[in-house]
Structure 1
């Protein structure tokens, strides 16, 4: 049986797109499931746009989601620029076999001949016998070219609608469509799973592979990922860089889980699934051809589930990059279990616990305006008085505020608002009385006095 060999071939021209991550994961699942190979090929032939840091970013992003050389199915990275001699040889072979020809037509000449800027190439140079110029592939005149796609089914392309496309520039440098096919053939790729936007390239590569003496691969063109407005995710409009989600505090496990469900599902009602459970179930044939909605709210909910599932010690370790190094770890640990149940992303940890470490809270003005309404000063003063005598534990602190609220005709929720803002600076956060207990009697009283002074100003 032929070894399954898939490839992921990104261009290092920008931040790593979540759509690219989804394609990489689908290919990785196929490789792991089959015991085949996953080939990482960096398509770096566009020297004007490529930058070394983008290449490093691709490798780092893949490593973050678990795609790296520690797994024996991984192969690479290879760099397309290193294969240029093979690309040029392929062009020469196609020319020698009469399957390609030179063309010296400019865009202006083509428009002048066809009378339209929108018509494709008219084949003018097919039989002129030129010995220089750009190189065009000679497409069939009749019939159809079929792309049998695992996701989209049988897709037919009438050959008379396909122009003779350019495979090499006038300086001899090969274009993507040719280089891509040659590299796939050279690296014995058996399955090509990539974004739907590459389907127009597939018909050309379906022609090129046999012309180069090879059988085309199994094709699978993955559904477009769209935003809330059902528009294709765009780096100019949407948050699409995997690096941004990583920096914000999304867990790799949650991101992998969510991306795998963009166009595929295990066939039951489960959504939260570890990678090891998804791999045996994944099939390219089960990928849906409909657009996949990237729902950031759902992703955040997934992430919260994964955060809550972490061992407490691991949670504290993963929070460290978002905390000030000077903050006392022991103090943080006292509230870490409560914080773990509330975070959607790890970066939210700072706003939940910073009040413990600041000399005075940073007031969120909308929170202040919402909580410090008429009567707030009476609640602050009454609770401040009780803190001199109350036992310093969560239940006693809560009971004291309940009594203050009752005395002022307020339920606990209403009575808490000015106290919470005075203590933490915000109207939302960790459980109030546990927070006050950890903060300590003297510091809590100082904050209530400061809030009173500001309020009565």
Structure 2
């Protein structure tokens, strides 16, 4: 048997963190079992589904690298198939027409709630509706069994049992002729030969209803794994107030997809005490049965730590591919200047995000006309003119424009003038970067290039001279 899993989002918004984790678990299980992963867009909610949301879901999946083997399938293109099977259930007496008005159903619900009962349809039309013309407005309800239980072994939660007399007769086709979610899901999973369904715990109550529909259709019942919700670090359900909840917002904020995937896989799954997982390790080690029942708390600090780890340890060329997006987003023209991979090598230890890295490296690609006020006040003082001027002379003579050689020049200038390294290095830093903080100044100058460094030192010397006169 080929294992087949699916991710089936509703296109009513972006791809959120919980959905991304569900997609990841489904994808990993399929890859672990050398099976297939299906992407299905459940767009039966015609009022709320949008093309913009579909595009956002596809963009998020592609950014995360969760490639699918089949799909994307769209439920709205399969209405004929659903309706064919609903008609079949009607003919077999496994479904029926219900003519109850909305007002009657609302009244029934209020009455049951007032009596402390669970609201559910009372089966008025279950045994026939002779008082109504065939073309009168109606819905189609599934005739749920009234005896026995639905039992299934969930990969996360173990044995789950629901008594059939606690389940009402589900509407499977609305008055307007549109089939409903719970029916479409069953038909899709059957037709697409899905063997394992990984989804959120909010679907547990749908599962017994769907199992009864599978059985009524004579379809095989897949295995289920219902994963717990993700909470914010305050214990409340994850929401916008906890920060980004859209997967693409994490891209915009400067996270690498590798870091987010590594973080998400650990939100409910573990392998010993291991924290860092390559994608190959995730695939080889992942198991549905190792998913925790407990809700997981989202910790942004942990994600930041992981993100910096990946910025530092992934091949610089790979990180550079993601950094390009941020350079474009911040309007930095990196076509002239050091290669992004070289910049990453210099800045990886200092930056938690690519957004930060792009902003901090701007001066490598753009000239500036003003120095940061605080840094200039502290370090571009008249006393700095002599070490800066001597450093400029020695740097101009330097043939080997490499960090080690530049470092030697700075050391030599400090020794010649009998100054501490900071008295030479800090004025140089402000001169060539315009700001008071940067990676090792010899590395920065090596990336900037000789001509640009000398021109910026000249600008700093002119600034100091003007300041001395003022």
TM-score (norm 2): 0.81
285, 288, 306: which one aligns with 1:284: 288
Question: Is 1:142–1:160's contact at 8 Å kept on the other side of the alignment?
Answer: yes
Hey, what's the Cα distance between the residues in 2 that align with 1:178 and 1:149? 21
Matched residues in 2 for 1:362 and 1:50: separation?
Answer: 50
For 2:302, which of 298, 303, 312 is the aligned residue?
A: 298
Specify which of 431, 450, 456 is matched with residue 440 of structure 2: 431
Check 1:269–1:171 CA distance in 2 against 1; reply closer, same or farther (3 A cut).
Answer: same
Q: Matched residues in 2 for 1:246 and 1:106: separation?
A: 48
1:79 to 74, 92, 98: 74
Q: 2:336 aligns with which of 328, 333, 341?
A: 328
Is 1:47 the equivalent of 2:40? no
The residue number in structure 2 matching 1:233 is 238
Whole-Å Cα distance in 1 between the matches of residues 317 and 108 of structure 2? 72
1:450 Cα deviation (Å)?
A: 4.1
Match of 1:340 in 2: 348
Q: Which region of structure 1 is more displaced relative to structure 2, 312-321 or 289-298?
A: 312-321
Question: Which blocks of at least 5 consecutive residues in structure 1 are unaligned?
Answer: none
Distance 1:101 1:362 in 2: 78
Measured in 2, the distance between the counterparts of 1:123 and 1:211 equals 18
Equivalent position of 1:214 in the other structure: 219
Deviations along 1:189-211, one digit per CA (max 9) or x if unpaired, are 11111111211211211221111
Secondary structure at the counterpart of residue 329 of structure 1: coil
Structure 2: 5+ residue stretches without partners: 114-118, 396-405
Aligned residues: 440
2:401 paired residue number: none
Q: Say if 1:387 and 1:441, in contact at 8 Å, map to a contact too.
A: no
Q: Which whole-Å deviations, capped at 9, do the CAs of 1:32-83 have from their partners, x for residues lacking one?
A: 22222212222222222223343233333323333335xxxx1222221222
Query: Aligned partners of 2:147, 2:293: CA distance in 1, in Å?
Result: 29
Pair 1:363–1:10, CA change in 2 (3 A) = farther
1:144 aligns to what? 149
Q: Distance in 2 between matches of 1:355 and 1:186?
A: 57
In the alignment, is residue 154 of structure 1 matched against residue 159 of structure 2? yes
Aligned partners of 2:267 and 2:296 also within 8 Å: yes
Q: Does 1:66 align with 2:65?
A: yes
State the Cα distance separating 1:401 from its structure 2 match: 7.3
Cα distance, 1:394 vs structure 2: 3.0
The whole-number CA distance in structure 2 between the counterparts of 1:333 and 1:172 is: 57
Q: CA deviation at 1:233?
A: 2.3
Aligned-pair CA distance for 1:436: 5.5
Deviation at 1:384, TM superposition (A): 2.8
> TM-score when scaled to structure 1?
0.84
Give me the CA root mean square deviation. 3.4
Partner Cα separation in structure 1 for residue 23 and residue 340 of structure 2: 38
Query: 2:226 is paired with a residue of what secondary structure?
Result: strand
Q: Kindly indicate whether the alpha-carbon contact (under 8 Å) linking 1:361 and 1:423 is maintained by their aligned counterparts in 2.
A: no
How far is the alpha carbon of 1:328 from its aligned partner? 2.2
Which position in structure 2 is the counterpart of 1:256?
Answer: 261
Is 1:126 the counterpart of 2:126? The answer is yes
How far the C-alpha of 1:311 sits from its partner, in A, is: 3.1
Q: Secondary structure at the match of 1:194?
A: strand
Deviations 1:109-165 (A, max 9, x none): 234345448433232332342545112223333443223211011122233332222
User: 1:151-230 residue pairs with structure 2 within 5 A?
Assistant: 151-230=156-235
Cα distance, 1:315 vs structure 2: 4.1
| 2:386 aligned partner | 385
Q: Which residue of 1 aligns with 2:276?
A: 272
Shift of 1:419: 7.3
Contact 2:311-2:319 at 8 Å conserved across structures: yes
Deviation per CA, 1:290-310: give whole Å up to 9, x if none.
Answer: 112222222222222222123
Give the C-alpha shift of residue 105 in structure 1: 2.5
2:398 is matched with none
From 345, 354, 358, the equivalent of 1:350 is: 358
Distance in 2, Cα, partners of 1:361 & 1:331: 24
C-alpha separation between the residues in 1 aligned to 2:8 and 2:468? 61
Q: Do the aligned partners of residues 352 and 238 (structure 1) sit closer, same or farther apart at CA in structure 2, a change above 3 Å counting?
A: closer
CA distance in 2, matches of 1:362, 1:174: 65
What does residue 359 of structure 1 align with? Answer: 367
Task: Give yes or no for the alignment of 1:446 onto 2:459.
Answer: yes
CA distance in 1, matches of 2:464, 2:225: 62
Please say if residues 322 and 347 of structure 1, whose CA atoms lie closer than 8 Å, have aligned partners that are also in contact: yes
Tell me the secondary structure at the aligned position of residue 61 of structure 2: helix
Q: Taking structure 1 as reference, are residues 113 and 52 closer, same or farther at Cα in structure 2, changes over 3 Å only? A: closer
More deviation in 197-206 or 349-358? 349-358
Whole-Å separation in 2 of the counterparts to 1:327 and 1:170: 59
